[in-house]
Amino acid sequence: MSDDEGVPAVKKSRIFYGSLAEKERERLHKGESSVGRTAVRAGIDAGNINVGFGESFDIEEHISERQAEVLAEFERRKRARQINVSTDDSEVKAGLRALGEPITLFGEGPAERRERLRNVLSIVGTDALKKTKKEEEKSKASSEEYQKTWYHEGPTTLKIARLWIAQYSLPRYVCSSCFQELRFSSSIVKQISLEL
Q: Does 190 have pLDDT greater than 70?
A: no
Residues 44/51, Cβ–Cβ less than 8 Å: yes
Taking the CB of residue 93, how many other CB atoms lie within 10 A of it? 16
Give per-residue pLDDT as tens, 107-128.
Answer: 888 889 988 988 888 888 777 7
- Three-state DSSP at 164 gives helix
H or E segment and range at residue 161: helix 156-195
Give per-residue pLDDT as tens, 157-177.
Answer: 998 999 999 888 888 888 777
Residues 93/113, Cβ–Cβ less than 8 Å: yes
Is residue 129 classed exposed, middle or buried when 0-12, 13-18 and 19+ CB atoms within 10 A define those classes? buried
Of 63, 86, 66, the residue nearest 74 (C-alpha): 66
Q: Does 193 have pLDDT greater than 70?
A: no
Q: How confident is the model at residue 35 (pLDDT cuts 50, 70, 90)?
A: low
Residues 63/84, Cβ–Cβ less than 8 Å: no
Looking at residue 164, what is its pLDDT? 92
- Mean pLDDT (the chain) is 77
Most confidently modeled of 11-20, 30-39, 98-107?
98-107
Which residues contact residue 40 at a Cβ distance below 8 angstroms, ignoring those fewer than 6 apart?
49
Higher-scoring residue by pLDDT: 183, 110 = 110
Q: Does 129 have pLDDT greater than 60?
A: yes
Q: How confident is the model at residue 66 (pLDDT cuts 50, 70, 90)?
A: confident
pTM: predicted TM-score of the whole model, two decimal places: 0.37
The amino acid at residue 165 is: I
Looking at residue 7, what is its pLDDT? 65
The amino acid at residue 16 is: F
Looking at residue 160, what is its pLDDT? 92
Between the alpha carbon of residue 142 and those of residues 48, 95, 146, 147, the distances in Å are 72, 21, 6, 9
Residues 130/83, Cβ–Cβ less than 8 Å: no
Residues 133/98, Cβ–Cβ less than 8 Å: yes
Which residues contact residue 121 at a Cβ distance below 8 angstroms, ignoring those fewer than 6 apart?
80, 83, 85, 95, 99, 128, 129
Query: Domain residue spans in the chain?
Result: 68-146
